[in-house]
Amino acid sequence: MRRTENLLSKLGIPEERIQKKISDTFDAMFYGSEDERIYHPVGEDMGYIEDTGNVDARTEGMSYGMMICVQLGKKEEFDRIWKWSMTNMYMPEGKNAGYFAWSCKPDGTKNAYGPAPDGEEYYAMALIFASHRWGDGEGIYNYSEWAKTILRDCIHRGGEGDKEGAPMWTSDNYLIKFVPGCPFTDASYHLPHFYELFADNCDERDRDFWLKAAQASREYLHLACHPETGLCSDYANFDGTVLEKSFNPNAGLHYSDSYRTVYNIALDWAWNKKDPWQPGECRMVQKYFENAGESWDAVPHPDGTLTEEKAMHPVAIKATKAAASIAAIDGANEDERELSERLVREFFEMPLRTGKRRYYDNCLYMFSLLMLAGEYGEY
């Protein structure tokens, strides 16, 4: 099984401190105080992850929770989140049959009947890992079969012109869409390291599609990330250019979604080492924020031009640029290595975020911690 390197240990942090940090982080996020936790058990066998800023459950967070749990061997919490997802979010009929409603109220009522592809790709990957780690059960706990079902529906839904029932990936360029039927994408959705594993665990007829999707996403990220800053916009066209007009006023900025892109790139490098561009891209992002100085938390355009707005998720920025070190240190010069190592040490001493906006920051915090601790692996 391929895993990330334990960079924390290489920097001299004792293993017992690392493991305690991971355990304490999980306990705070899942069972901490009302100002810390984002997980809520429901009844005897269900539970949900709350987006505390929006007071709902989203497929993003639910699938993140499952990935955290399978990485840490937390089967009970994994199964609870999965059952809540299948009970309240999965849509077995209608135009979006086979997809998950992207947002539900805490009582399970759907806020919308449209899906968000980043949820589906994390659900599928978490289920594949669960099958390999714990074996398949029956019904919804037949993890491998449900992963195949999700992956099949993602690429074989109705025609491209059917906005609600369309596939989540384009059939001609193999790129993931922001939502089915839309003509643009989100750089942080591109997970080539997942797609290669999808190819090994999908229907045989779809294996070639996922291998092509992995290569297409690696190539796409070159286009979406600015050549001088390394930054990308939240949403972008399929040619990598910034999406100028959108329902989201922040779509063309390096905003909340974008923070994930650099640690996705770093994880692909750590697992696969197929794209030599990736370490330099990670170093570029680290240098951008370092050079920004006191303005590091100002929201920038991809070219580095600053806006007057402050980042909504500053902890996520610090966590992901630290996690980027798992790739950035490869081929780095002395100054670049010192920067990467300092960012890692600073992150390790940084506490979780508390309060209303903690959900997104702390999910990215946990993923970054697992990557740097050598605990994020392919099962």
Is 196 part of the annotated catalytic residue set? no
* 323 has pLDDT over 80: yes
Q: Are residues 377 and 258 in the same domain?
A: yes
Domain for residue 369, yes or no?
yes
Given 153, 182, 211, the domain boundary residue is 182
Q: Can you tell me the distance from the alpha carbon of 186 to that of 118, in angstroms, rounded to the nearest whole number?
A: 9
Has residue 156 got a pLDDT over 90? Answer: yes
pLDDT digits (tens, 9 = 90+) for 68-93: 999 999 999 999 999 999 999 999 99
- Domain of 127, CATH number, reads 1.50.10.10
Please write the tens of the pLDDT for every residue from 184-205: 999 999 999 999 999 999 999 9
Asked if 232 and 138 sit in the same domain, the reply is no
**How high is the pLDDT of residue 159?**
52
Q: How high is the pLDDT of residue 278? A: 98
Spatial separation of the C-alpha atoms in residues 89 and 59, rounded to whole Å: 8
Residue 290 lies in a domain: yes
Note whether residue 295 is domain-resident. Answer: yes
- Kindly indicate the confidence band of residue 164, based on its pLDDT and cuts at 50, 70 and 90: low
218 lies in some domain: no
Within a domain: residue 313?
yes
Tell me if 199 sits within 8 A of 211, measured CB to CB.
yes
Integer Cα distance of 217 and 194 in angstroms: 11
Q: Describe the chain by its helix, strand, coil percentages, rounded to 5.
A: 50, 10, 40
Cβ burial, residue 200 (10 Å; 0-12/13-18/19+): exposed
Check 36, 186, 196, 257 and give the catalytic one. Answer: 257
pLDDT at 1: 75
Token output for 32: 């901490």
- Per the structure, the count of domains in the chain is 2
Tell me which of 56, 60, 206, 330 is the catalytic residue: 60
268 three-class SS: helix
> Could you tell me if 71 and 21 lie in one domain?
no
Backbone angles phi, psi at 103, to 5 degrees: -145, 135
Q: If we measure between CA atoms, which residue out of 283, 179, 159, 275 comes closest to residue 220?
A: 275
End-to-end CA distance of the chain: 6
Q: Is 111 helix (H, G, I), strand (E, B) or coil?
A: coil
Q: What is the pLDDT of residues 1-59, one digit of tens each?
A: 788 999 999 999 999 999 999 999 999 999 999 999 999 999 999 999 999 999 999 99
Residues 9 and 112 in one domain: no
Asked if the structure places residue 220 within a domain, the reply is no
Q: What is the pLDDT of residues 107-133, one digit of tens each?
A: 999 999 999 999 999 999 999 999 999
Residues 44 and 18 in one domain: no
What six digits make up the tokens of 189? Answer: 């959705």
Query: What are the Cα distances from residue 151, in Å, to 175, 188, 216, 294, 302?
Result: 14, 19, 17, 44, 32
Q: What is the DSSP letter of 167?
A: -
Same structural domain, 232 and 371? yes
pLDDT bin (cut points 50, 70, 90) of residue 244 is confident
On average, the pLDDT of the chain sits at 96
Question: What three-state secondary structure class fits 159?
Answer: coil
pLDDT at 365 over 60: yes
Co-location of 19 and 75 in the same domain = no
Helix (H) or strand (E) holding 58: strand 57-58
Report whether 115 contacts 96 (CB < 8 A).
Answer: yes
Domain that holds residue 87: 39-182
Whether residue 168 sits in one domain with residue 298: no
Within a domain: residue 217?
A: no
Domain for residue 255, yes or no?
Answer: yes
Kindly state whether residues 362 and 266 are assigned to the same domain.
Answer: yes
pLDDT above 80 (res 230): yes
pLDDT of residue 161: 47
Residue 245 CB contacts under 8 Å (≥ 6 apart), including other chains: none
* 72 and 18 belong to one structural domain: no
| Residue 311: predicted pLDDT | 98
pLDDT at residue 245, as a whole number: 84
Known catalytic membership, residue 257:
yes
| Both tokens assigned to 179 | 């939502």
Do 13 and 25 fall into the same domain?
yes
Kindly report, residue by residue over 166-184, the tens digit of the pLDDT. Answer: 899 998 999 999 999 899 9
If asked whether residues 257 and 240 sit together in one domain, one would say yes
